[in-house]
Amino acid sequence: MESFAKIVSTIDGWVWGWPLLILLFGTHLFLTFRLKFIQRHIGTAIKLSVTKDELAAGDVSQFSALATSLAATIGTGNIVGVATAIALGGPGAVLWTWLTGVFGIATKYSESLLAVKYRVKTADGTMAGGPMYVLEYGLKNKPLAITFALFGSIAAFGIGNTVQANSISTMMFNQFSIPTWITGLTLAILTGIVIIGGVKRIASVCDKLVPFMAVFYVIGCIIILGMTYKTIPATIALIFRSAFTGQAAVGGFAGSTVMMAARFGVARGLFSNESGLGSAPIVAAAAQTRNCVRQALVSSSGTFWDTVIVCAITGITIINAGVWNQGLDGGALTNAAFANIGTIGPIVLTIGLLTFVFSTILGWSYYGEKCVEYLFGTKKAVFPYRVCYTIAIFFGAIMSLSLVWDLADLFNGLMAVPNLISLIALSGVIVKETKEYLWDDNLDKVDNEVIKEIKNN
């Protein structure tokens, strides 16, 4: 197992080298400029996310699609993932994570737009979409479509499953001495009960869980920062300084270079908000929307909440606690940072992680099963996948943390490549649709395909 872990770590380091960082962040920048800084429409995006659309076709509401997407993205990446980035890349990693979110809004918008535009209606009347359909029908490249679906179905076991179970089981053991297998078994049972009902049951649970967990966690962190407000300016200055100069070794901290800060900041940013990964568009394709641009805007607001707000607050909270330079790994650093701030710290961390983990596991189960459905061309493959997915939660809870994170990072990177290729190649389509509906002030216009769908129903 140790030799396998070393091999995975080596491959992970190669995948997440300069080429992928340039491709990922470069795509964020490219789409930001091509779409004339679509980020400036974030206010409209947030408003649309809570607006019920009667003239729409799809399986779940726009808010339900967003809630399911946020359920999958707001997870351990926002807490343990940010801490891991700090532990490996120094305080500067927080800024790179945040920038990945800011510019990633354009990428999340673009991939969701394409997912809705190229979605298909299956034999049972439900919607199916995502990068695999974009690659097949938009880019006309079936091999790349299969590659994405394959990596997506495997990545779900990392980013959305084992990593989540491992983080919460470790915390529950450290905080309350609860054996990891008990936490893993409990999570597996609860997950199985929900995902057996498909996307509508998952969305129903996420509708209620996501607003509570996000508001609770953000308010909790704000209270914590309020208790230590005097050092916040110095903390923010350290984050900016370290992002471009690196951070010298201090105490048990191994030290970092600018490359390490950028690598782990961008990697954890992707892990957290999934912009460019191609996962969130899978559920965006199931949304009830009158045109592809409206849902694209709604989906883009997910990156804003996830990384621009939640990850930034987490990073500042951890560094401001003053324990980042003690040589601790991600999970231990998170525990130390929140435990260092009175009674409220552990409460916020425990409830935050419990809700974040469960919601992420639910969201990613849908992503994985849609990839499997595409690969095998039938819904009959979904149930066996759900069984395997549920069992993996248990084993993820008792695995090595470093191996789990390396595997998650590896398949994230492999999954992102074909999706990013489609975004760049089809950027002209994205601009064309954006001009028609957004720039020409036609957001209320109903797409012709949607009109047909409404009439058929």
Taking residues 1-19, report their average pLDDT.
74
User: Hey, CA dihedral for 253, 6, 260, 103, is it positive or negative?
Assistant: negative
Residue pLDDT, tens place only, 169-228: 887 887 788 999 999 999 999 998 888 877 677 777 777 788 888 888 888 888 888 888
Domain range for 89: 11-250+259-440
Q: Give the count of domains, the chain.
A: 1
Q: Is residue 447 part of a domain?
A: no
pTM score of the predicted model? 0.86
The answer for residues whose C-beta is within 8 angstroms of residue 148's C-beta and 6 or more apart is 131, 132, 135, 278, 371, 415, 418, 419
Strands 120-121 and 127-128: antiparallel
Residue 450 in any domain: the answer is no
| pLDDT 10s digits, 319-370 | 988 888 777 776 678 777 777 767 777 888 788 878 888 888 888 888 999 9
451 lies in a domain? Answer: no
In this structure, what CATH number is given to the domain that contains residue 141? Answer: 1.20.1740
What is the average per-residue pLDDT within 415-431? 94
* Residue 457 forms part of a structural domain: no
> Number of helices and strands (H, E) in the chain?
23, 2
Whether 416 maps to a domain, the answer reads yes
Question: Which of 188, 149, 211 shows the shortest CA–CA distance to 367?
Answer: 149
Tokens (6 digits) for 41: 């429409």
Burial of residue 376 (CB within 10 Å: 0-12, 13-18, 19+) is middle
Which residue type, as a one-letter code, is found at position 434?
Answer: T
Average pLDDT over residues 22-35: 92
The confidence score (pLDDT) of residue 65 equals: 74
Three-state secondary structure of 90-102? CCHHHHHHHHHHH
Q: Is 454 among the domain residues?
A: no
Tell me the pLDDT band of 287, cut-offs 50, 70 and 90.
confident
Q: Does residue 211 form part of some domain?
A: yes
Distance CA 21, CA 17 (A): 6
Residue 289 resides in a domain: yes
